[in-house]
Structure 1
Amino acid sequence: MYESALIAVDFSRSSLPMLKRLGYMERMGVKNVILVHTKPTASGSGGDGPKLSTQELKDKLAEHAEVLSDQFQVETRLLSGDPAEQLLTLAKDEDVDLIVTGSRAHHPAKRLLIGSTASALVRKADRPLLLEDVRDADEGEDNIPRRDGPTLLATDGSGAAEAAEDHALRMLGKDNHLRVITVSSSNDIARAWRRLERITNKAADVGVRLIRSVDLGRAEHVIPQIAAAERASLIITGRRGRDGVRGVRIGSTAEDICRNANRPVLLVPGTEQGN
């Protein structure tokens, strides 16, 4: 389904563990990978570590690429400038199907943030974005979700969510099952169930079995809680518009789900006409 992917690495101590966990992308159809590191400009933030030469950065990219080379065709790119803007430009130029980046900041004081680059990509990406939960080496991997757990689709039944629903059905294929939830902040349960009619009908057409539920509360809290309780390996959800136009902005539901999930989240942009 996603034949090509652009993967961003920042060479933090979380980068290699993250790459080692990306083998499951093969089941999503990924064959070709562009592994990218963006070095900051003189005016940008270079972090607290030692500054590496261009050749040293290329060598590190090659080292990181080895982690993926058994499963994917990998090429590397070293860019310079604003990471999010550079990634978005490269994704468009190469017409990749998927963008992948880590979803947590690395500074100890920012454990609850998803990071400035990931945040910008959430708001601006015009194609599916996979946010892989990253952990520093000293955090261990005990709480990292199993890769054979269920896939969870979170939908509100809107037009903006339809693309995410279609992606989830195509990703799983016939004779698989999909865990689907919609979250309501009111007691109008009948209306909430009606939000699931479209995905229910489409799933029946393609032979995917649904396990559905309507849950009360705030989506950004309920969805991560259910994903943790059911040991979901992936959350799929949609986002509206681009860069705050009829949709995602700082503090939005989609970004809050990414922040709270502690597991991979696939964000699929919807049409700007979505309701």
Structure 2
Amino acid sequence: MNSIGPDDINPALPRRVLIAVDSSKASRNALRYASHLLPHGGEVRLVSVAENPHTLFPSGRHVGHTLDSVREELLKDAAAALEQAQALLASCDVRIETEVVDLSKRGGVVVQALVNAANAWQAELIVVGARHHHGLTRWIEGTVSEALSKLLHCPLLVVPEGYNVENEHLPERILFAVDGSPHAATALRFGVRFAAPDASLRAIYVIDRAVRLSDFVPIDALEDAFFDEGKHALAAAEPVLSHVSIRSSTALVKTRRTSDDVAHTIVREASNCHAQLIVMGTHGRRGISRWLFGSVAGRVAHLTQSPLLLVGTQDA
């Protein structure tokens, strides 16, 4: 893990936040969560994407009028979602802009439209709600999460629909998953900006003991390598966390021998400490397991019921 000192930490919250909006409960939950992260005087851009009806229904000679009606309804729903979102953020001291993206005119897909909007506006953070196995979650699962993080020039905050937004302040319990990579170092530096005063901050490094790896490399040798890397990664993280809060800790944790992996272990640790935010770097390296099983961050996004902040190396 790259060396990060307290002087490298920007204490300010992101001032330009783009929030993806639709009519779902997941979107409203994301708005409620994001409202506690917005700095006074900040800027928020609410973006609602109206999908192209041609991609939702088969085309034919007699469907033109129907598609026009569907398009009008989709645009009306997008505008209504923006109006509701503005009402939810009415008490926040921020400047709000809104945008409806009409894919029937611009073309493309929803995720690309959001990426384009975030990049064009130079957003410092993008927030999305997620319904597991539905809606926005599909944008961040598996290899799609890697493509999205490459396209985005800012971190991505994913708020699950089932997460109970109960506190009206910054997160008081944050879990950082580190793996010794520059991506994790960047994520740590960005993630501590969201910590409430005297927050409980915990950094973990997961030692993968899953027996599936023994087909390639002796498991004991892998454990030793992970142990050494983990000690260095946590040693680099500790001074950053302790600079931000006196309630900080680090830990080496291990997967179970069978029926377990790094992603499940991270989610389990987050549940055990009642984390109000998980922070991870994208494209973190985990050797052979990453080649075989894809992005750890993508799997955590699929599993977690806690908000998840994904940060790439470009997101200083």
TM-score of the superposed pair, with normalisation by structure 2: 0.69
Q: What is the rounded CA distance, in whole Å, between the counterparts of 2:81 and 2:200 in structure 1? A: 40
- Equivalence for 1:74: 96
Task: State the Cα RMSD in Å.
Answer: 3.1
- After TM superposition, give the deviation of residue 96 of structure 1 in Å: 0.8
Shift of 1:118: 3.8
Quote the residue 1:140 is aligned against.
Answer: none
* 1:222 paired residue number: 265
**Which residue does the alignment assign to 1:160?**
183
Report the more deviating stretch, 161-170 or 84-93: 161-170
What residue is the counterpart of 2:60 in the other structure? none
Verify the 8 A CA contact 2:276 2:306 in the aligned structure 1.
yes
Distance 1:248 1:123, change over 3 A: farther
Aligned to 2:24: 12
- Larger Rg computed on CA atoms: 2
In structure 2, the CA distance between the partners of 1:179 and 1:197, relative to structure 1 (3 Å rule), is same
Shift in Å, 1:207: 4.9
Q: Distance in 2 between matches of 1:38 and 1:121?
A: 19
1:232-272 residue CA offsets vs partner (Å, 9 max, x unmatched):
1000010129xxxxx89994100111111101000001259
Q: Is residue 153 of structure 2 the alignment partner of residue 126 of structure 1?
A: yes
Map 1:206-217 onto structure 2 (within 5 A).
Answer: 206-209=243-246, 210-217=248-255
Question: Relative contact order: is structure 1 or structure 2 higher (C-alpha 8 Å, sep ≥ 6)?
Answer: 2
Residue 183 (structure 1) aligns with: 206
Checking the alignment, whether the CA contact within 8 Å between 2:301 and 2:308 is kept in structure 1 is yes
Q: Per the alignment, in what secondary structure is the counterpart of residue 224 of structure 1?
A: helix
What is the alpha-carbon distance in structure 2 between the residues aligned to residue 187 and residue 239 of structure 1?
Answer: 22
Q: Say if 2:110 is the partner of 1:83.
A: yes
Deviation at residue 149 of structure 1 after TM alignment: 4.2
> How much does 1:174 deviate?
7.5
User: Percent identity over the alignment?
Assistant: 22
What is the match of residue 126 of structure 2? Answer: 99
Q: CA deviation at 1:167?
A: 1.0
Shift in alpha-carbon separation, 1:24–1:221, aligned structure 2, 3 A: same
Looking at structure 1, the residues matched to 187 and 41 of structure 2 have their Cα atoms a distance apart, in angstroms, of: 18
- 1:41 corresponds in structure 2 to 52
Distance 2:195 2:28 in 1: 27
Q: Which amino acid aligns with 2:102?
A: S
Alignment match, 2:14: 2
- Number of residues paired by the alignment? 250
User: 1:39-90 CA distances to partner (integer Å, 9 max, x unpaired)?
Assistant: 11133237xxx94153453233212211112113222110022111111111
Q: Distance in 2 between matches of 1:8 and 1:249?
A: 32
- 1:187, 1:86 → 2: CA distance? 43
- 1:194 equivalent to 2:237? Answer no
Whether the aligned pair in 1 keeps the contact of 2:174 and 2:278 (CA below 8 Å) is yes
**CA 1:104–1:98 in structure 2 vs 1: closer, same or farther (change >3 Å)?**
same
Q: Which whole-Å CA distance do the structure 1 matches of 2:291 and 2:307 have between them?
A: 19
Q: Which runs of 5+ in 1 are unaligned?
A: 136-142, 242-246
In 2, the alpha carbon distance for the partners of 1:127 and 1:248 equals 25
Distance 2:102 2:90 in 1: 24
**CA deviation vs aligned residue, 1:119-161 (integer Å, no higher than 9, x gap):** 44553223100001114xxxxxxx6265454111111121221
Aligned to 2:9: none
More helix by share: 2
